[in-house]
Each structure stands twice: as C-alpha cells, then as structure tokens.
C-alpha cells in the first residue's frame, strides 16, 4: 500500500516484478450428497476434487471421498487423500484426514457443528520440496450455513474454493481513482505500486503559460503544496476516464462564428480595395 506521507519521487513500475506464491490455508466445497443413496451401492460413494497450492506455487489435487455410512441413514464418512506422486513417501492409502458427517431430517449438516473448529488437513513431505502444509477444510460459510447438504438429489459438487495462489508476473498496469497505479499479475492478484501526486498552488494566476497546457512558476508564484488527489482542496483523479473540454462549448462556438464573420468581412474589404487599385491603374493607362 502507498504511504501518502512519504517523500515524492519518480514512480517506478516493476515490470519484471514477481508476486510470490501463497500456500493454501483454507478450502471449502459446496457439495450435495444424495439422501436416497444406498450403503455399498455405486451411488453410495462420491468424490470431489479440490485443487490447492503449496508455498512454492505448485498445485496439488486433493480428493474428498464421501461414503454412505452403515451407522445411520443420515451419516456419511469422508476421507481426504492426495496422489502418492505428490509425496516423497507414498501414503499407502492413508488419508490426510477422515471422519463422519451427520445430517438432520431436513438435510442440513449438524456434525461437525458450525461452532466446531475447521477440519485440519495436514500435508507433509511434498515431492516438490515445498514446506509442509496445514489446510483448514471449512464446512460452513461465514453465516454459519452448511456447505455440505444431504438432499434427495444426485450427489454433486457445485463449487470449490481455496485461498492460495501461484507466483505471478505483472500483466498490466492501470490507474484507479485517486491516482493509484494498480499492477495486475498473471495469477489474478493485484497490488498498488504507486500513486500520482498533485500540487496545490495558492495563486495559480501568477504562473506563466509556456504552451502545450504547461505552466511555469514565476517569482510571484507561491511554493507548491504536494499531496494526494482529493486532499487539501486538490482535484480528483478518476481512473479509466478521459477528461472532456473544460470550456463552454456554446460560447466558444458563438465566438468562432463571430471570428468567421469578421474574417469574411475583412477579406471583402481587401478584395474591394484590390479592385479599386486595378481600376485606378486602368485609368492611368
């Protein structure tokens, strides 16, 4: 984030800059499990893949397998696994995390409860050398609504989410409101890399116009007060906008018509004078 209290300097955009990877810390999946599934049947097992990111930016696909439990009609067992190829030492089928989900008669998740901590999924010994990970599998959203349900519909996953992202390079730079320079990276992340400063001058009429909309201070011009747009009486900077003309178009158009008429009148005077000169020369001859 830009510090508006720091000294003013040239803006340098790190075009070759790379934003580091961030390992996944939280994941979730919106899943419905078929309440009419039979224990041991083909519909009694359902798997949902969730892709996560390690600290080096590598991706791994975790598989959450739900199996209809024989302990009760409203219970499903779950097991979370990772491919053996992603580990230095194969797990031999041992899940990263396992347990049981329980639902009430309306198909809503009751256990684990919304007040219980998220399920910790620990991944150690990644083959790519990345640091060990502990991912929280969140079964509820921020409002306490269960993300896993059990309704009489075919089992399926409608959405997955995780908060990790791979390393990325700058793909574009844009100016947002307030003069903030925002860099967008190839991994979808964005960051503010600079801010355009504005100068406020108490007596701008004392400045000298040097053309091309440029003004130059004179000995009578007060010292400029530099700060962020929109502060201390300074103007605004609007991103993705093109400033229109600041003059009154109707007035300027009327002035243009007056200038045109004056030019035409003057040209006729010159034409008449020229004709009189030609006639006078003709009489002399």
Strands 148-149 and 26-32: parallel
| Residue 279 confidence class, pLDDT cut points 50, 70, 90 | confident
At 99-115, the pLDDT tens digits run: 999 999 999 999 999 99
Contact residues for 108 (Cβ-Cβ < 8 A; gap 6+): 146, 149
Domain layout of the chain by residue ranges: 21-162, 244-285
At 63-103, the pLDDT tens digits run: 999 999 998 889 999 999 999 999 999 988 899 999 999 99
CATH second-level architecture of 21-162?
Sandwich (2.60)
Give the tokens for residue 160.
């997955």
pLDDT of residue 282: 74
Percent of the chain at pLDDT > 70 equals 97
Three-state SS letters, the chain: CCCCCCCCCCCCCCCCCEECCECCCEEEEEEECCCCCCCCCHHHEEEEEEEEECCCCCEEEEEEEEEECCCCCCEEEEEEECCHHHECCCCCCCCCEEEEEEECCCCCEEECCCCCCCEEEEECCECCCCCCEEEEECCECCCCCECEECCCCCCEEEEEEECCECCEEEEEEEEECCCEEEEEECCCCEEEEEECEEEECCCHHHCEEEECCEEECCCCCCCCEEEECCCCCCCCCCCCCCCCCCCCHHHHHHHHHHHHHHHHHHHHHHHHHHHHHHHHHHHHC
Question: What are the φ/ψ torsions at residue 217 (nearest 5 degrees)?
Answer: -70, 150
Instruction: Give the number of other Cβ atoms within 10 Å of residue 9's Cβ.
Output: 8
| b/e burial code for range 104-128 (CB count within 10 A of at least 16 → b) | eeebebeebeeeeeebebebeebee
| Residue 285 confidence class, pLDDT cut points 50, 70, 90 | low
* Mean pLDDT (whole number) for 9-18: 80
What rounded mean pLDDT belongs to the chain?
Answer: 90
């Amino acid at each position: 984030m830009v510090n508006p209290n720091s000294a003013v300097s040239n803006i340098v955009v790190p075009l070759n800059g790379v934003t580091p990877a961030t390992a996944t810390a939280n994941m979730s999946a919106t899943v419905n499990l078929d309440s009419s599934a039979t224990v041991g049947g083909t519909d009694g097992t359902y798997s949902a893949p969730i892709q996560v990111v390690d600290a080096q930016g590598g991706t791994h696909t975790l598989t959450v397998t739900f199996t209809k439990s024989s302990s009760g009609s409203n219970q499903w067992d779950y097991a979370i696994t990772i491919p053996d190829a992603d580990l230095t030492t194969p797990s031999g089928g041992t899940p990263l995390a396992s347990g049981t989900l329980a639902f009430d008669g309306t198909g809503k998740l009751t256990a684990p409860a919304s007040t219980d901590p998220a399920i910790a999924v620990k991944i150690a010994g990644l083959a790519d050398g990345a640091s060990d990970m502990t991912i929280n599998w969140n079964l509820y959203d921020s409002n306490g609504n269960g993300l896993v349900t059990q309704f009489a519909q075919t089992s399926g996953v409608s959405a997955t989410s995780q908060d990790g992202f791979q390393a990325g390079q700058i793909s574009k730079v844009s100016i947002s409101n307030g003069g903030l320079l925002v860099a967008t990276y190839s991994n979808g992340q964005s960051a503010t890399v600079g801010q355009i400063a504005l100068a406020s001058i108490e007596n701008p009429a004392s400045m000298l116009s040097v053309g091309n909309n440029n003004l130059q201070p004179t000995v009578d011009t007060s010292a400029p007060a530099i700060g962020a747009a929109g502060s201390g009486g300074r103007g605004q900077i609007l991103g993705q906008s093109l400033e229109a003309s600041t003059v009154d178009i109707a007035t300027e158009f009327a002035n243009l018509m007056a200038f045109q008429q004056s030019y035409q009148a003057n040209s006729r005077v010159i034409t008449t004078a020229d004709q009189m000169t030609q006639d006078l020369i003709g009489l002399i001859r």
